[in-house]
Amino acid sequence: MKYKKMLLTVMYSLFAKNLPKSRRCIFFKKAREFFARRILTYTGENINIEHGAEFTPWISLGDNSGIGVHCELNAVENGEIKIGRYVMMGPECVIYTRNHAMSRVDIPMQQQGYEKPEPVEICDDVWIGRRVTILPGVHIGEGSVIGAGAVVTKNIPPFSVAAGVPARVIKNRKG
Stated pTM of the model: 0.94
- Distance between CA atoms of residues 158 and 156, nearest Å: 7
Mean pLDDT of the chain: 95
Q: Is there a contact between 85 and 124 (Cβ–Cβ < 8 Å)? A: yes
pLDDT at residue 1 in the model: 63
Ramachandran class of 149: left when φ > 0, alpha when ψ lies in -120 to 50, beta otherwise:
left
List the 145-146 sheet strands across, edge first: 88-89, 127-128, 145-146, 160-163, 168-172
Q: Would you place residue 5 in the very low, low, confident or very high pLDDT band (cuts 50, 70, 90)?
A: confident
Helices (H) and strands (E) counted in the chain, each on its own, are 2, 17
Q: Is 122 left (phi over 0), alpha (psi -120 to 50) or beta?
A: beta
Provide the 8-state DSSP code for 21: P
pLDDT, tens digit, 9 for 90 and up, residues 91-138:
999 999 999 999 999 999 999 999 999 999 999 999 999 999 999 999
- Which positions are catalytic? 100
**What per-residue confidence (pLDDT) applies to 155?**
98
> Residue 21 has what pLDDT?
87
